[in-house]
Structure 1
C-alpha cells in the first residue's frame, strides 16, 4: 500500500469474525499468463474481467507460489522464501480471509502486486511507513532482513494489509468504501485496489493513480486471471 502521500511502488484493529467468502461459480475462466490493458471504470461493460473469469484460489496459488520461490533473490531482498514460509503465506491468507470475509484470491493478488510474495520485502517510507507482504499502512509486521520469518509475523503482515491497522485502511475497509459507488462485484475489488494504492478513487478512470501507480488496478485485474511473468501491457 502506498497511500495518498507516497509514490514508491515495490517491484513486484480488532478483527470481526466473518464467514469465508463464497467464490462465484466459474463458467468462463481464463487463467493465462497474459497482460491485457484495461481502461475506464472497472466494469465488465468497459472490458474488465468479471469474477467468473478469475482463477480459483488453487489455480492462482499454483502459478504464484512458483514465483515466491525466487522473488526475494530476483529483487535483491535477501534469501529466497523457504517452502515453510511459502506454506505459511497460504495458511495466513486463508485464515485472514475467513476472519474478514475478504476473498482469498484478492488478498493473494495484492500480496503479489505489493511484494511478489517475498516475506523479506523491504519497508518503504515516504511519509507513511509501508512494511511487509502487503506494504500495509503503518503496519507492524515485517521480516525485512530476517532470515527465518515466523508464522506469527507472516500472519500479522496479512492481517495488517487486509483488516487494516490503527493508522490506515486495509482491503476490508477499501472494499466497504467502494461498494456503494461501484455496486459490488469485480468492479468493487478493482476500485478497492485503487484506493488501497492511492488513497483516492476516480471511479470513471481507475488508471488515475493520482500520485501513485497508474496501472495498479489493471495489474490486479490481470493477476486475478493468471498474469505472472508476461510483460506488462501498461501503456500510460
Structure 2
C-alpha cells in the first residue's frame, strides 16, 4: 500500500519500475476473460474483443500522449476489462470500460447488451475515458490538474479521475471522495499486480 503525495520520495514507484505494456496487458487477459460473467454483465470478453481493447488503448495513447500502461491500469481498475460493463450512476452516468463522465461509448446501455461489442464502441470507450467528454474530464484533463511533471502526476491524476478535483488533496492521495485506495491500486497495477486482494484497505468515502 502506498500513501502520501505520489512522489518517489514518498515511496511510490518510479516510472522505470512500471512493467511494459505488452507484459501488463497479457497478465490481465485472464481477468478480462471472466470479468463480465463473474459480475453478471453478460458474456465474457471474446478474443476479438480483447484484441480490440489492446488496439484501442495503443491508438488512443498515441493520439493523446497518455501512457498506454496508465490507460490500461484505469480500465482494469474501473471495469476489469469487461466490454459489457454496466453503466454506474451516482451524480452522473459513468459508462464503458473506463466508467467515464457521461460518454457515448458502451456495450451495455440500459440493460441492452451488445454481443459482440463492436470495435468502434470499444475505441469510443477508451477515447471518452482518456480524452474526456463534452461534459466531463478524462485522463488528459486529470493529468493537467495534477500539476506535476514527475511520476506523481499519474498517481495524482488517478485520484482525481476517481474522486474529482474538488476534494483532491495532493499531499495525501488516500483521502477525498470515493475509492480511497484508487491511486495505490493503480500504482500496484502499473508495477505488475493484476489479480488477488488489494493490499490497500482504506475503504470508501
TM-score by length of structure 2 reads: 0.93
Deviations 1:32-71 (A, max 9, x none): xxxxx01111111111101010000011011012211111
1:132 aligns with 2:96: yes
In 2, the alpha carbon distance for the partners of 1:156 and 1:192 equals: 21
Superposed displacement of residue 195, structure 1: 0.5
Equivalent-residue separation in structure 1 for 2:82 and 2:55 (angstroms): 15
Q: Which residue of 2 aligns with 1:79?
A: 43
CA RMSD, aligned part only? 0.9
Count of equivalent residues: 196
User: Whose helix fraction is larger, Structure 1's or Structure 2's?
Assistant: 2
Ranked by relative contact order (alpha carbons within 8 Å, sequence separation 6 or more), the top structure is 1
**Structure 1: runs of 5+ lacking an equivalent:** 1-36
Structure 2: runs of 5 or more not aligned: none
**Pairing of 1:81-230 with structure 2 (within 5 A):** 81-144=45-108, 145-178=113-146, 180=147, 182=148, 184-200=149-165, 201-208=168-175, 210-230=176-196
Distance 1:227 1:162 in 2: 22
Give the secondary structure class of the aligned counterpart of 1:69.
helix
After the TM superposition, list the runs of 4 or more consecutive aligned residues in structure 1 that deviate by more than 3 angstroms.
none
